[in-house]
Every structure is written in C-alpha cells, then in structure tokens.
Amino acid sequence: EVSLDGAMFKRGLSDIGGSTTAFLKNFALGAIGIASVEQAFSKTIESAKELVNESTRLNIGIEKLQVYRQAAEDAGIGLDKMATGLEKLGSARAKALGEGMGGGSKEIAGNQKMFAQLGVSSQMLAGGGSNDEIMRAISDKIKATANPQDLIEPLKAIFGRAGGALIPMLESNFEELEKKMKSYGAIMESQTAHQLKNLGDT
C-alpha cells in the first residue's frame, strides 16, 4: 500500500523501487483518479528536486539535510535561517582552507582557529567530503559545553549572525532523530530523491 499523503507516499516509492514507479503511476491513475495522483506525484517530485538542489548547494547529504530541517523546526528555528547558516558554514570552510579569499596566512589561521574552538580539526576541513562530519563535530562540542553561549564568537564566525540562534538545533540528538524519522517513513533516501528528480526532468 502506498499512501498519497506526504512522507508515507515518499516512503512507499522508496520501498517499491524506482523501476516500478511508472507502473505504480499508471495503476494509481486508474484506481484513484488522475487529479489526486498527479498532484501527489507533482508535490513529491518537487520536494525531491528541492532536496537534491539544496543538498548540492549546501554540501550536506540528502538524508542528513532532512534531519537538520526537522531539528530546526523542532527547535523553533526558521528553515531559511538554518539554510543560511549552513551556507555560511560552507563559505567559512573555504576561507579556512584559503580558497577564494585575498587574505594571507594570518586570516586563514584565524578561521581555522574558530573551527578548532568548535571541535573541528584541520583534517576535517581539508577532507574534501560533505559538511556532515563538521556539523556532527560542532554538535558534539555544543552538547559537551556547560554554557554553549561561551561559544558565541566562533559560532557567529562560522554560521554568520544566526550562529547563536542555531544552538538549540545543534543541541539535538541527530542520530536519534534520524532513527525516529526513518521509523515514520519521514526521510526520503538519496537514491529515491535522485530518481524522482530525474523522473520530473524527463
């Protein structure tokens, strides 16, 4: 059974596999009606496109991006503010690596110091992977600090002016939240998101 309602619809598509999506669509059109099914597919495909594009722009995995969105919502933080913060993280990482900035070694060292104060090593910065590991390291540092407000300076240096506002989100248990979301079928898997995006692009 594939529900047409929100996350369960996405979970259903994931469970049955992308290769049968066309069959499902044709079957559902006859069984339920073209208007409701087309609307559900359209909304789900648009959601997939948004996830893929945002994941690429912010250098965050598709599954993790959905977890961060939910954590921000649970913490009462606007999704725009969260996205802006993650975008600033990417820029700060590039500066700490000396990419695309006119400053010298002193400025690079200063940026690396801000990351180090948040538990992010130079190896993590230079690793070349997504920002997921960096977000986990910062979250661990926040949760291990008696008064997270003491970290306002590096937080603002990394996430911009929204740095302080992101503290409640960063205090979240992302692992537990991800497990909970998966149990409810509230996470669209990366492969499914790309398949649906491609379906919408054709």
pLDDT tens-place string over residues 135-153: 999 999 999 999 999 999 9
* Sole residue written with tokens 């398949």: 195
Spatial separation of the C-alpha atoms in residues 195 and 54, rounded to whole Å? 16
pLDDT tens readout for residues 78-95: 888 999 999 999 999 999
Instruction: List all residues 6 or more positions away from 91 whose beta carbon is below 8 Å from its beta carbon.
Output: none
Instruction: State yes or no: pLDDT of 101 exceeds 80.
Output: no
What DSSP letter does each residue of 99-165 carry, written as one string?
-S----HHHHHHHHHHHHHTT--HHHHHT-S-SHHHHHHHHHHHHH-S-GGGGHHHHHHHHGGGGGG
pLDDT at 2: 47
Give me the mean pLDDT over the 106-128 stretch. Answer: 91
Residue 19 burial class via C-beta count within 10 angstroms: exposed 0-12, middle 13-18, buried 19 and up: exposed
Kindly report whether the global pTM for this prediction surpasses the value 0.75: yes
